[in-house]
Amino acid sequence: MSKTEPNIIDDVAFKDALGERYLAYAMSTITSRSLPDVRDGLKPVHRRLLYAMLQLRLDPKSGFKKCARVVGDVIGKYHPHGDTAVYDTMVRLAQNFAVRYPLVDGQGNFGSIDGDNAAAMRYTEARLTDVAMALMERINEDTVDFRDTYDGEDSEPVVMPAGFPNLLANGSEGIAVGMATSIPPHNLGEICDALLKLIKSPNAKIETLVASMPGPDFPTGGVIVESEESLLKTYSEGRGSIRIRAKWEKEELSHGLYQIVVTEIPYQVQKSKLIEKIADLYRAKKLPLLGNISDESAEDMRIVLEPKSRTVDPEVLMESLFKVTDLESRFNMNLNVLTAGNVPKVLDLREVLQAYLDHRHDVLVRRTKWRLDKIARRVEILEGLLVAYLNLDEVIRIIREEDEPKQVMMKQFSLSDVQVEAILNMRLRQLRKLEEVEIKAEHKELKEEEKGLKALLKDEGLRWSAISDEVKELRKRFGQKTELGARRTQFGDAPDPSKVISIEAFVEKEPITVVVSQLGWVRAFKGHFDNLPDLKFKEGDGPKFQLKAKTTDKLIIFATDGRFYTLPCDKLPRGKGHGEPIRLMVDLEQKDEPISIRVHDAERKLLVASDIGKGFLVDEKDVVAQTRNGKQVLNPGKGKALLCVPAEGDHVAVIGSNRKMLVFPLDQLPPMKRGQGVGLQKYKGATLSDAKVFNLEDGLEWDIGDRTRHEEDLKPWLGNRASVGKLPPVGFPRTNKFHSE
């Protein structure tokens, strides 16, 4: 670098450079990859694929072409990305179980609802469908803007004319940076009905529009089980959850038996994975009402479910399956789209429909102006030809005798350059009388068309009437009365929350006695026993907990790590042998031990505390864990969880390792759902030994061996929470425990 050459390197803070580049990446992802355009419902890769197929003349009436040829054109001319991404897009647009109105007509193996992949692109062939042609109709009539392709050698449409409302009809899904979109497919006939209502009443309320298109129409059918109020709220806000269930029917068999046949499953659920999940749950004994499952599907779906016995109610069986399998799923709708200004925004239903109509209005105006320009050019030529017919002999003379016939004719007949060029380019056969008559007829017809088009541009009412006619024609082509447009997804009653059947309702209710050993082995014996005869343990082990329960109950286990673990009683190993270690049933670490085990009571409160003397009250309904990992409730800090006792009473008695006892009102303890808690007793070089909740009026009891001692006068020990306390009553156990172990 010479001394006179300026320094072109700028020092930029790494944070600023990274932020600037990430913002550019985020905007590119949002606007050029993940979010669809509200006008045509397409992302750039879809738009480029369809346009490339149109340029290859792959219309529905033509033959198929290899997908590899199409993908090559797309990535070579319009979309410089990986061929796999383009082919995957093409495959999805051809799958009638993934797209409500397929835009690609595929020939060959394009995958299945079981999750099978499509064949390689060199084996499959494709062409456009009628729907895709409607989407791109009149694209060559200046209806939309074009821009240069990535290499500047060609041009591509910025947006499609969208003669088909693709955004709502086929839906869209995508994840961008910091935002996402998830739009379900809808029935075209219903969309058209809503569009016609909005054209007629531009200020129509969303309630009116939802009355015309009450909910999604998924390609795989199914049953929507959402209330009308919930769906209206979803379409009003542009966000919401829509619950879909499989469609099923009961088939009667001989001898009073029956089976259930599932004929339609929720959208985006793979049949093979669904059956595999149901089979896994069946083997894990989590579907006690199901006897067997088999797949008898051919072209039509047929999943057969056999009940455990003929006495099982089919409704109850299906509810049990809906609760734990993908026979019921949710579609989380998010109408996040790119508006006409390329700005991402969540729209409500009316705004989406209006944006589509505004686009169609712009398309109508642009193609009308384009047509007027074409007519003007043609009329100009026709008028020049008519002048030539009226002065045919003179025209022939000028052409034969003059050196510059073009200039002479322009001056003599007051013709334009275009008109004279048309006259000079006429063939001799066009000089016949019949040709003159046809030109006059064409001229008259074009002038009438021009008059109508000019009137259309001047009158907005006429334009909306024309758009309304287009919508009606579209409804006639693809509406509910056609095979493609018939509604597939039905509507069902939303389940009553008060009548939802829990899994516990399917478990046979039996009394059991649960035994937990000192080393953490658990087993259950059928029946209730105070003393179990011949109870055997492994060498070095012995009994620790024994409690009566039912198979429909849950065990709540509190451990030294401050976590609560939950075990359903019907899943406990039976009494034969030594049982199973609790650690294999929940994720309890080796360094931690169970402190207490009790039968779950949702109405009860518990006092939990750590050995550093801190604790709080917690509702037992809030400690139930949904996973093997348990639920962290008490944070033991530098200590460890020490106790969990029922909070049944009005006072708390606590005693520390320093042999000081304190009694204070229960209402001084705060109710919490999670945390370290507050101080129960003040210590100096000591820890908490035990605590008990009791009624002050009844007095305090404690165990001494097999006997029970009782103290009614507790005034010496009454105080406030976090006080030091005093020595316990005479005769209190040296173990500093209220209950003997």
Active-site residue numbers?
A: 123
Contacts of 329 (CB under 8 A, 6+ apart): 243, 244, 266, 267, 268, 269
Question: Longest Cα pair distance anywhere in the chain, in angstroms?
Answer: 144
Measured between alpha carbons, how far is residue 559 from residues 147, 542, 548, 738 in Å? 66, 19, 20, 20
Q: Structure tokens of 546? A: 């024994």
Amino acid at 309: S
Residue 688 near residue 613 (C-beta atoms within 8 A): yes
Query: Rounded distance, CA 586 to CA 594, Å?
Result: 11
**Residue 269, amino acid:** V
Asked if 606 and 539 count as a contact pair (C-beta separation under 8 A), the reply is no
Q: What is the DSSP code (8-state) at residue 366?
A: H
Task: Mark 532-561 as b/e (b = at least 16 C-beta within 10 Å).
Answer: eeeeebeeeeeebbbeebbbbbbbbbbbbb
- Distance between CA 544 and CA 557 in Å, rounded? 13
Give the tokens for residue 329.
Answer: 């799923």
Residue type, 501: I
Q: Residue 183: left if φ>0, alpha if ψ -120 to 50, beta else—which one?
A: beta
CB of 484 closer than 8 Å to CB of 385: no
Contact residues for 115 (Cβ-Cβ < 8 A; gap 6+)? 270, 271, 272, 273
Residue 569 CA to residue 515 CA, distance in Å, equals 12
